[in-house]
Structure 1
Amino acid sequence: MWKMTYSFQSTGKPVALLLHGFLGSKSQWNSVVSGLESNYDMLMVELPGHGKSPSVSDYSIEELSFEISQYLKQYFIEKVHFVGHSMGGYVGAAFAKAYPQHLHSLTMVNSIANSDLPARKQMRNRAIELIDRFQNAYVSMAINNLFTREEHELYKEIIEEMKAMGKSMTLESVLAALRAMRDRPSQLLDKDLNIQYIYGNRDAVIDKSLIEKELSAFNFNGVELAGGHMLLLTHPSELIQNMHFIE
């Protein structure tokens, strides 16, 4: 089995596992980590083809959750507090369904447990058809959509860094991620699990109505913040303050 890049150093504290989203990397958690590391050991993983992880031509969201379960086994970690942003949340939901015995809590940041709606699948298919000719343009457009208009003014440097990182990814990596997100099944999460959603009220990628529908169906805790899709970069302090697993 291929491996995803990760960083972890055990000191015996509870483990918080942080997984970024599409076109991101584990470095995007740096501001969140600074607020957690005094009380938690941090396991930060990078998706295939993202950051320093090797490119993989084909995989599923369920395979990623299995890969993570193997890291837990390797380090004798019984349970984790899983924090997943966007695509990382898709993996977190799959992990919660497949390995609930290894989950203290799941925090879904700008993410949902259900599969893509038909319109979203069509958008991904369109991107897959065109991306070999327009990869850089697609990456720029996709990243622009992650931020609100006001955030574009406030976080210009961060956005440009994210675009540079996204454009450095191989075509194979971008396509594999798009297919994995498109083809993921809905995860019917156990209502007894310790799960919360933190989401932006101006998220142009995952509309808050979809998240609120899941909150109503599962009766999980939800926190709405005034922001777009990249709360881990734009609202790290608020994320930390609202993670209910923090003691």
Structure 2
Amino acid sequence: MKNILHKNTNIAFSDSGKGTAIVLLHGFLENQKMWDAFVPEFSKKHRVITIDLLGHGETECMGYVHSMENNAEAVHAVLTHLRIRKAIFAGHSMGGYVALAFAELFPEMMKGLVLLNSTSRADSEERKLNRDRAIKAVKQSYVNFIRMSIANLFSEDNRERLDTEIENVKKEALKTPLQGIVASLEGMKIRIDREVLLHLTPYPKMLILGEKDPVLNYNESLEQIEDTDVKLVSFPDGHMSHIENQDELIAVLLGFFKTV
């Protein structure tokens, strides 16, 4: 694990392998450890950078709101420090929102984009209300909020089968400070719609969805890539494809990296 200081905030990251740069961005309540099973495979032929986003893992909080743009600027600071000019970005859930913000702010650095269990669209009004409810809930009972949130990310079929893996995700999530959770919820709530990037950007793009994702409606997610050249990959499970469909996902991502 390495660190840089960005706007008086400690940003933690890892850097391994050589070749085309791959930037892996974790989701809400996760950290760069979510990629532990992927980095050894990817770094055989690529340079792999994983980053703890603001208020997650070993990266410090920056303020009361961590916007997706704030996170994208932190990612940019790491890549500038590493002298990386272009990279392929893969972001899980909130990590996908950050990758899209990065693509808008720094388009010249984009070599490819993978949205994993993520969306280019802004929160609906209902979803914004749910974010507000989540902020209240986590302030009232931090541990209960995390335990419930994590279990609800997996398809119902997998909750028993992946019990050990789910407990591990909860343990990592419990390392996320209250301020980091609230700041991320506030940041996700105010993020803008970036669907236009899926239609107008020239680099290869892929959308990976879970058909039984409890968080993102599968059919609505398909709408955003109509009349685009975005490649679609669907798995039969939930929001946590990196756990629920790990081996298949590794193969899919390696295949995508080869084509970029």
Shared fold, TM over 0.5:
yes
**CA displacement at 1:150 relative to structure 2:** 2.1
1:1-247 equivalences in 2 (<5 Å): 1=7, 2-9=9-16, 11=18, 13-57=19-63, 58-187=65-194, 188-189=196-197, 190-216=200-226, 218-243=228-253, 244-247=255-258
Contact 1:197 1:223 in 2 (8 A): yes
Instruction: Give me the identity figure in percent.
Output: 28
TM-score by length of 1: 0.94
Q: What letter corresponds to residue 54 of structure 2 in structure 1? A: P
Q: What letter corresponds to residue 22 of structure 1 in structure 2? A: F
Whole-angstrom CA distance in 2 between matches of 1:186 and 1:223:
22
Contact 1:26 1:46 in 2 (8 A): yes
Q: What SS does structure 2 have at the residue aligned with 1:5? A: strand
Contact 1:56 1:172 in 2 (8 A): no
**CA displacement at 1:167 relative to structure 2:** 2.5
**CA displacement at 1:113 relative to structure 2:** 1.0
Whole-angstrom CA distance in 1 between matches of 2:142 and 2:75:
29
Q: What SS does structure 2 have at the residue aligned with 1:113? A: coil
More displaced stretch, 234-243 vs 62-71: 234-243
Whole-angstrom CA distance in 2 between matches of 1:226 and 1:108:
17
Whole-angstrom CA distance in 2 between matches of 1:30 and 1:105:
21
**CA displacement at 1:208 relative to structure 2:** 1.2
- 1:122-165 Cα distance to aligned partner (Å, 9 max, x none): 10011112321122111111111110122112211111122122
Whole-angstrom CA distance in 1 between matches of 2:135 and 2:15:
34
**CA displacement at 1:217 relative to structure 2:** 5.2
| Higher RCO by CA contacts (8 Å cutoff, separation 6 or greater) | 1
Question: How many residue pairs are counted as aligned between the two chains?
Answer: 246
More displaced stretch, 71-80 vs 164-173: 164-173
Contact 1:112 1:210 in 2 (8 A): no
Whole-angstrom CA distance in 2 between matches of 1:82 and 1:133:
35
In structure 2, runs of 5+ residues without a counterpart are 1-6
Whole-angstrom CA distance in 2 between matches of 1:113 and 1:193:
16
- In the alignment, which residue of structure 1 is the partner of 2:3? none
**CA displacement at 1:10 relative to structure 2:** 5.8
Whole-angstrom CA distance in 2 between matches of 1:114 and 1:172:
25
Structure in which a larger fraction of residues adopt strand: 2
